[in-house]
């Protein structure tokens, strides 16, 4: 399942639905709860996200702890971890324009501020 998809709501609004990422999987909140986020510049709903519960947070923390102590990360050398972190930095840089658009839409900041 992808990180997000776009749906057309009644009235024609395009809304991007995002998901949680817990224990290597994209998922919804355990109770199915969601919240809408509005573009402060227009007042229009532009995205919907899972309203993570305490149980979801606990599950995420347990998964992260397990990954750090017994998963692949735990057995990697510092050099291997460093390579992965550099790869993450590359992915952020490659997607900086999209990430900036999302932050601009969500926060109402000027595009120049989110690129700084």
> Among all chains, which residue has been given the structure tokens 């395009």?
14
Q: Where are the domains of the chain?
A: 1-75, 77-116
Task: Give the three-class secondary structure for 114.
Answer: helix
Q: Tell me, what's the pLDDT at 3?
A: 60
Whether residue 106 has pLDDT greater than 50? yes
Residue 78 vs residues 53, 66, 71, 88: alpha-carbon distances, Å: 34, 18, 15, 15
- pTM for this entry: 0.78
Average pLDDT for 3-11: 63
User: Which tens digit of pLDDT belongs to each residue from 19-76?
Assistant: 999 999 999 999 999 999 999 988 889 899 999 999 999 999 999 999 999 989 999 9
pLDDT at 96 over 80: yes
State residue 14's pLDDT score: 80
């Amino acid at each position: 399942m992808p990180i997000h998809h776009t749906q057309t709501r009644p009235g024609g609004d395009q809304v991007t639905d995002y998901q949680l990422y817990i224990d290597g999987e994209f998922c919804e909140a355990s109770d199915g709860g969601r919240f809408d986020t509005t573009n402060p510049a227009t007042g229009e709903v532009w995205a919907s996200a899972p309203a993570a519960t305490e149980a979801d947070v606990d599950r995420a923390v347990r998964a992260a702890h397990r990954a750090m102590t017994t998963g692949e990360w735990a057995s990697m050398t510092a050099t291997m971890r460093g390579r992965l972190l550099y790869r993450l930095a590359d992915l952020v840089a490659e997607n900086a324009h999209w990430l900036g658009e999302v932050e601009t839409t969500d926060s109402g900041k000027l595009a120049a501020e989110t690129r700084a």
